[in-house]
Structure 1
C-alpha cells in the first residue's frame, strides 16, 4: 500500500467519525457513560469487498485490549502529509490537538484462509474503532465489536503496525451460526447476508 493510500485510510477512519453524547449533557464524557460515535464507512458490493480485502479469514477471537487510535501522517508533500516542514515540537503539538479515538485491538486465531498472506494457526491483530477509554464506553454506529470465544469470517484491509481493519465498519464481519454458515453482523450494509462453504 502506498503512502498516499495509507494516509487516506488513516484520515478516513478518523475524520469520518463524529461524537454524539448519549448519556451526558456536558461537553466532556462522564465516567461510566456511553458515548456514540457515528462513522461514514464506504459501501461495498460483493466483488469490491473481495477485491479490496488484503485478507479473508475464518478465525476465533482470543483476546481484546483497549487502545487509542491516533492520526498517522505519511508522505513527502503537504497534500499527503500536513506535518511536512514542521519542527518535531510543532508535529507533536499538531498530533496531540487532533486527539484520538477509542479503539479495540482484537487478537484473532486464524482457522482458515480464503485470501491473503496468513496461514491456519497464525494469530493476527484486528483494530476496531470503539471501545473503552477512561471508563467511558464508545459505541460506533455500524460497527460490531468482535467478541471473545466467537468464530468469525472477516474481510479486512491492511492497517498500521501489522494490524488489519475490517472493511466497511461491519460490512466485512460475519459470525458463525449453528448451521455451519456465516451470517452478516450488519445485514443492512453487508454485501452478502449469509455465506457457506
Structure 2
C-alpha cells in the first residue's frame, strides 16, 4: 500500500487483511493491532454508519489502519478513486485519543468518533458522486468537482457572516485555502457530534 500526503510525499508500507473483521479492514505491518483496537474501529464504523444513515454497507470503503509514520502524522484520509479510507492507529486507543482531543485548541468535536466520521463523510460524498456520474477514475478531477459543489453552501455562510473558526481551526485554514469540501466536512462533523 502507499499513502500520499497532501504535501505530496509518498509512504509505502505493507498491509495485511484482518480476517476476523466485520468490514474490509487491512492493517499496516507497522501497527501492532490489538483486539481492543479492532473492537474500537468496528465500533467507530458502526456509529458512523448510524449517524450518516448508510443503508448499503457493500459500498463501504476499504479501511486501512496505518501507523502515524505511515500517514505522515495525518489522523485519517480518504482516497475517492480507490474507495480507501486510512485511519491512524492512534485514534483507536480511545482514552489516549480523548486526552489528545482535549488538548486541541478548537477542534470540530472532542468526540473520539471525529476522525472516522470526517473521513466517512468524504466517503459518502464520493458515493453520491459515483451514483450520479459513475466511477471515480481521476482523483484530481473528482476533487475539483467536490470543491466546487460545496462552494455555494460555503458562499451562503460567508454572506451570513459566518465565522469558520466557530467550526474548527482546521475549517478556518481550509476556507482560506479554498478547500470548501473540507470546510463542509468539518461543518457536518460539528453538526452531527456537537
TM-score band by shorter chain is: under 0.3
Question: Which structure has the larger Rg over C-alpha atoms?
Answer: 1
* Bigger strand fraction: 1
* Bigger helix fraction: 2
Give the TM-score, by structure 2 length.
Answer: 0.25
Give the TM-score, by structure 1 length.
Answer: 0.25
